[in-house]
């Protein structure tokens, strides 16, 4: 990204309030996804989206924090996909990409007051219970691992992807193999514990 663009972005971020965009520096703590040495990183099927959203430019080049857009990850089961008004907060002020085909489409949805019908990329069977909050609280807030690495345990390095793809198995054996490992309870402590293995915690 050019210097001018970086400046503009910083301006936007300040303007939107430092409390909403966290431009957290991404400390590279270790290989992304290393917590589960599953040897699994075959790219899953490409899901055709209404607009191809470039994570590599937003979360990669611009380093926008994952949780600025996926705001529920730290406090609920789901992470959530951002609403259109979050995109418009920036794109209304970005004449330089206004005429790009994907941005024109974005404005069409906005002008028609329609949400973008994003499709699911990661989708566990309905009988599985999954909880983002517990994992984010543990690995990000307690162990203080960088956010990009933490999301990467289960999603791979989304910040380098041009379209979000599934790269992890997300099978029962795969989840359980991480739960069986010793995980630090918090940074600076040597106390470790495991994830749960009770059937009912992962199944309804
Ligand atoms: C500017 C907003 C924005 C930022 C920043 C962002 N995302 Fe996203 N994310 C989206 C949108 C929009 C989608 C839906 C389109 C898609 O799936 O490609 C999405 C989809 C995803 C998906 C797929 C969801 C599914 O259906 O399974 C994952 C996983 C994801 N993001 C993780 C991340 C991670 C990890 C980061 C940080 C490295 C991040 N995102 C940063 C906007 C964002
Ligand atoms: C913090 C500001 C910011 C937010 C929030 C944001 N964008 Fe962007 N987006 C940008 C900037 C800046 C560019 C141009 C980046 C570049 O030139 O590499 C861009 C580029 C894009 C592009 C590529 C355009 C092209 O073809 O060149 C798409 C598509 C896009 N954004 C979609 C979205 C969507 C969808 C959302 C909401 C989920 C969103 N953006 C939220 C700042 C933002
Ligand atoms: C321990 C594994 C794990 C971690 C860590 C994790 N996710 Fe997920 N994520 C999943 C699973 C599994 C699904 C699919 C859930 C389903 O289908 O019920 C998912 C789904 C999603 C989705 C789709 C919408 C939703 O909430 O269901 C988004 C977006 C997403 N994750 C973003 C993130 C972001 C951002 C982070 C880091 C802040 C993150 N995830 C960390 C496992 C994880
Ligand atoms: C990176 C390692 C890791 C991966 C991968 C992982 N987990 Fe976990 N999980 C943990 C740890 C550690 C905890 C305990 C968190 C805490 O409470 O401190 C946990 C907690 C949970 C809980 C919370 C149970 C409760 O007490 O409410 C559920 C449910 C869960 N995991 C399901 C899953 C599922 C389903 C998958 C696979 C899609 C998965 N996890 C993948 C490490 C992992
Ligand atoms: C850490 C979370 C977790 C725990 C603990 C767990 N499961 Fe699962 N289980 C899953 C996930 C995720 C799937 C979905 C796998 C898929 O989509 O391929 C699954 C799938 C299943 C299936 C469907 C068949 C299959 O193998 O795909 C059965 C039956 C099942 N689990 C039974 C159990 C029983 C019985 C226990 C307790 C001994 C248990 N599970 C404990 C996460 C878990």
Q: Each residue of 85-112: pLDDT tens digit?
A: 999 999 999 999 999 999 999 999 999 9
In this predicted model, which residue has the larger pLDDT, 35 or 162? 162
- pTM for this entry: 0.92
Q: Is any ligand 5 atom within 6 A of the Cβ of residue 123? A: no
For residue 40, the model assigns a pLDDT of: 63
Q: Give the residue-averaged pLDDT of 186-201.
A: 94
Which residues sit with their C-beta closer than 6 Å to ligand 1?
49, 53, 55, 58-59, 64, 66, 68-70, 81-82, 118, 120-122, 148, 151, 155, 158-159, 163-164
In this predicted model, what pLDDT tens digit does every residue of 24-52 receive, in sequence order?
433 334 455 555 556 666 778 889 999 99
Among 168, 159, 85, which Cα is nearest to 121's?
168
pLDDT for 35: 59
Q: Supply the pLDDT for residue 24.
A: 43
Rounded to the nearest whole angstrom, what is the distance from the C-alpha of residue 175 to the centroid of ligand 5?
A: 9
- The CA-to-CA distance between both ends of the chain, in Å, stands at 46
Ligand 3 atom nearest 78 alpha carbon: 26
**Which ligand is located closest to the Cα atom of residue 106?**
2
Nearest to 197 by CA among 176, 181, 178: 176
pLDDT on residue 4: 54
Give residue 140's pLDDT.
96
Of 49-63, 74-88, 124-138, 166-180, the least confident: 166-180
User: So what's the pLDDT on residue 20?
Assistant: 43
| CA-wise closest residue to 196 among 145, 144, 124, 129 | 129
Separation of CA 147 from chain center: 8
Q: Is 203 in the pocket of ligand 5 (CB under 6 A)?
A: yes
Q: How far is the CA of 58 from the centre of ligand 2 (A)?
A: 6
For residue 56, the model assigns a pLDDT of 96
Q: What is the mean pLDDT of the chain?
A: 85
Query: What is the mean predicted confidence (pLDDT) over 133-162?
Result: 94
Which residues have CB under 8 Å from 3's CB, separation 6+? Answer: none
Residues with C-beta less than 6 Å from any ligand 4 atom: 35-36, 128-131, 134-135, 138, 153-154, 170, 175, 178-179, 183, 195-196, 201-202
Q: Is residue 142 over pLDDT 70?
A: yes
Q: What is the pLDDT of residue 204?
A: 84
Which residue puts its alpha carbon closest to atom 2 of ligand 5? 202
Question: 174 C-alpha to center of ligand 5: Å?
Answer: 10
């Amino acid at each position: 990204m050019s210097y001018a663009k970086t400046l503009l972005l910083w301006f936007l971020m300040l303007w939107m309030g430092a409390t909403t965009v966290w431009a957290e520096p991404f400390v590279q703590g270790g290989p992304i996804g290393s917590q589960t040495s599953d040897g699994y990183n075959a790219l899953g099927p490409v899901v055709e989206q209404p607009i191809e959203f470039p994570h590599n430019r937003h979360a990669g080049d611009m380093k926008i924090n994952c949780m600025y857009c996926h705001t529920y990850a730290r406090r609920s089961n789901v992470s959530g996909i951002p609403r259109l008004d979050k995109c418009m907060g920036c794109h209304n002020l970005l004449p330089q990409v206004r005429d790009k085909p994907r941005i024109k489409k974005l404005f069409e949805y906005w002008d028609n007051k329609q949400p973008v019908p994003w499709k699911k990329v990661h989708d566990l069977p309905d009988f599985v219970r999954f909880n983002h909050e517990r994992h984010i609280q543990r690995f990000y807030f307690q162990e203080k691992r960088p956010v990009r690495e933490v999301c990467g345990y289960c999603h791979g390095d989304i910040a380098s992807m041009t379209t979000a793809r599934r790269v992890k198995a997300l099978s029962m054996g795969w989840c359980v193999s991480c739960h069986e490992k010793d995980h630090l309870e918090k940074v600076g402590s040597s106390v470790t514990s495991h994830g749960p293995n009770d059937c009912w915690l992962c199944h309804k």
